[in-house]
A and B are shown apart, each in its own frame.
Chain A
Amino acid sequence: MNEFSKTVTVNHAYGIHARVAVKIVEIAKKFNSEVFLIKNGKKGDAKSIIEILMLAIANGEDIIIEAKGEDCVEAVEEVINFIKESSEKYL
């Protein structure tokens, strides 16, 4: 199975909070691949808002976005793009 992962630094004043998490779930759900957020080795399903929130990702932390499946590359890129672009908007 195809796998792809990439690291991104979170640059949101309040970290990945509920409103940001909702968006990530929405994006992840568009893809067939399984998508995960990984922080310090702890893995959370990107299609579960609760799992994302439980990672308690704070401002300035590095996280890995990982996907498994045919559209894994697109999935990872779109999540990463969102996290980068939204840092201003969701302050």
Chain B
Amino acid sequence: MNIVPENIEIKGVGISDGIVIGRAYVVSDQKVIVPRKKISPEQSSIEKERFFEALEKTRKELMQIRDDLLKKERLKEYASIISAHIEMLSDKIIVDKTINKIEKKQINAEWAFNVVINKLIEDFEGINDPYIRERKFDLEHLRDKVLRNFSGIYFSELERIKSDIVLIAYDLTPADAARINPEKVKAIVTEKGSITSHTAIIAKSLGIPAVVAVETLLSKITGGDLVIVDGKNGKVIINPKADTIEFYKSKKIDEAIRKQIFYDISKIPSKTIDNVYITLRANIEIPEEVHIAKKLGCDGIGLYRTEFIFLNRTEPPSEEEHYSIYKKVADEIYPHEVTIRTFDLGGDKIDYHHLKISEKNPALGIRAIRFSLQEKRMFMEQICGILRANVKGNIRILFPLVTNLDEIKNIKQILSEAKERLENRKIKINPKIKIGIMIEVPAAALMADILAKEVDFFSVGTNDLIQYTIAIDRSNEHVIHLYDPTNVSIVRLLDFILMAAKKENIEVNICGEMAGDSKYVPLLLALGYRELSMNPNSIPFIRKTISLLKMSYLEKVIEDVRRNNFQNLHIFYKYLKKEFPDVFEY
């Protein structure tokens, strides 16, 4: 008898609001799609070379994993499993047969390898001994690892999803998350993850309802099951009963009404009561978000984080790739501007083996501009891509983590080198391009007056600025209570940065979370900030907040507080609550 269990309800962590009733699409793992190409006899040596490179890359990765395991007392015993994987990698059965196939069948290396190893996996499946039979999982794991290490990009299963589905996965990598198409994926549910995971960030910015950290999810769901996802309450219901479906259908209607209210407020102009216009821009991570940002009525993209272009691939992106992505974004947001921030990760986050760096303390290590200036070739590809994409002159370049003048000098040197290269290739570039730096380290904040002479704009990254100034790791629950954007030190720095920018008459934008939080926006406006950049979905609410404020009043109160060197900031908040009681509502 085959009974489908009904109405299984599992709790998780709700990430983004919304109710979705749909069919489950289970992504077991990122499946690698293996291309099949006929090759000429002369090409077979190239293919063999590619095969050995992929094996070598995998071997190095495994050795690294093994070394890491050996350092951990409790995990030591797993190291010998990795040794078995390394041994399998050089096993003559795999190597000889693959080489043979490449030559005899005149076929590309990854196809040959895939056929050989799949045959072995089949053989293992036929073994009676359950313990040995399980080794097929090792081979599968190894196969996927090697296939990903063939030079060139691999495609994830996600890109092939055709119809409306509820995406079910164990966890999503940043690259997976970036490939999600909101037109087809109606909700996301993962067994792992947290509020800060990439799945969460992407789901939020795409406005897709999502629930993460749903324990035992994969053991209870099968592809094609009907699922209800309640993003607000973090609930997932598998194979719901008819009345449950009815209940959620009516809930969905209520939600649609609420959403309408949300869009209605998005039509208000971003002005204070006394008509001071505030520029509101969107922070985005993937080009697809431009569409959402525009719908919510933004004044351009204040921060385009380009990290996703670099992640989960085996080679750094080429100039051509950078160019085509940035061109698309710049065209779509025109006549507004897009601010493209260059690579902002550490060497520990990327997979290009030759560039990978392991550090004890990556937050204080080779990352962002430090990494770019060290890996000039990778950096040059990005810079050239940006310069070329600036056809309409609406791109600004933003450099992260600058801490001294030398770095700016080096950046400018590379920029002029890039321009020269492009000119030599007879590529016309728009001479109009604004150069800016992130002010996110106390070092930069404290010399803002000096740095302001060198650049066209500042973008203040309050998250890192707070983190570095107060010495708080935000992911550490033991110190998170000390993370206070209104700490006097932070307010003084923000005041100093703005004064410095004003003196040199350069633009200054705030792009940290403070800018999207109605609790801090009045303070930022009072200090004199007129450009805010935030998560697209926050824009309507911040616009509403702004519309309730009177600039002349804010400036009067902050003047008193400033005279006192910001020591009595609580007065500002006291008056704020009295004068504008509704301001924290949104």
Contact = CB atoms under 8 A, between A and B. Distances in A.
Q: Do A and B bind?
A: yes
Interface of A: 14-15, 17-19, 21-22, 25, 45, 47-51, 53-54, 56, 58
A49 B139 CA distance: 12
Contact of B87 (A14, A17, A25): A25
A48 B91 CA distance: 5
18 contacts: A15-B129, A17-B132, A18-B135, A19-B83, A19-B84, A22-B83, A22-B87, A47-B92, A48-B92, A48-B93, A49-B88, A50-B120, A51-B93, A54-B123, A54-B124, A56-B127, A56-B132, A58-B129
A66 B93 CA distance: 20
B129 A56 contact: yes
Given A15-B132, A53-B135, A21 B94 contact: no
B81 interface: yes
Interface in B70-109: 80-81, 83-84, 87-88, 91-94
B131 interface: yes
Contacts of A48: 91-93
A23 to B, nearest CB: 9
Nearest to A25: B87
Contacts of A19: 80-81, 83-84
A50 B88 contact: yes
B131 A17 contact: yes
Nearest to B120: A50
B219 interface: no
Contact of A49 (B84, B128, B129): B84
Contacts of B132: 15, 17, 53-54, 56
Name the residue in A19, A22, A48, A49 with the highest tally of chain B Cβ atoms < 10 Å from its Cβ. A49
B310 to A, nearest CB: 35
Contacts of B123: 54
A22 B138 CA distance: 14
A50 B94 contact: yes
Name the residue in A18, A47, A53 with the highest tally of chain B Cβ atoms < 10 Å from its Cβ. A53
The B interface, classified by DSSP as helix, strand, loop or mixed, is: helix
Interface of B: 80-81, 83-84, 87-88, 91-94, 120, 123-124, 127-129, 131-132, 135, 138
Contacts of A21: 84, 87
Given A17-B132, A45-B92, A49-B88, A54 B83 contact: no
B133 to A, nearest CB: 8
Contacts of B138: 18
A25 B135 CA distance: 16
Name the residue in A15, A21, A47, A48 with the highest tally of chain B Cβ atoms < 10 Å from its Cβ. A48
Contact of B93 (A17, A18, A50, A56): A50
A25 B87 CA distance: 8
3 nearest CB pairs, A to B: A18-B84, A56-B129, A49-B87
B83 A50 contact: no
A75 to B, nearest CB: 17
Contacts of B80: 18-19, 22
Contacts of A51: 91, 93
Contacts of A58: 129
B223 to A, nearest CB: 31
Nearest to B92: A48
A74 B126 CA distance: 34
Contacts of B120: 50
A47 B135 CA distance: 18
A18 B127 CA distance: 14
A29 B80 CA distance: 17
Nearest to A18: B84
A89 B83 CA distance: 17
A18 B81 contact: yes
A14 B94 contact: no
Name the residue in A22, A25, A47 with the highest tally of chain B Cβ atoms < 10 Å from its Cβ. A22
A56 B136 CA distance: 13
Nearest to B127: A56
Name the residue in B83, B94, B123, B129 with the highest tally of chain A Cβ atoms < 10 Å from its Cβ. B129
A45 B88 CA distance: 13
Given A54-B124, A56-B127, 14 more contacts: A14-B131, A15-B131, A18-B80, A19-B81, A21-B87, A22-B80, A22-B87, A48-B91, A50-B93, A51-B91, A53-B132, A53-B135, A56-B129, A56-B132
A51 B131 CA distance: 15
Contacts of A25: 87
A48 B84 CA distance: 11
Contacts of A45: 92
B172 to A, nearest CB: 30
Contacts of A56: 127-129, 132
B91 A50 contact: yes
Contacts of B87: 21-22, 25, 49
A48 B89 CA distance: 10
A55 B30 CA distance: 31
B583 to A, nearest CB: 64
B440 to A, nearest CB: 48
B211 to A, nearest CB: 37
Contacts of B94: 50
Nearest to A90: B80
A22 B88 CA distance: 9
A54 B129 CA distance: 10
Nearest to A14: B131
Nearest to B136: A53
A31 B530 CA distance: 76
B118 to A, nearest CB: 13
A22 B84 contact: yes
Contacts of A22: 80, 83-84, 87
A66 B124 CA distance: 24
B63 to A, nearest CB: 14
Contacts of B124: 53-54
Nearest to B139: A50
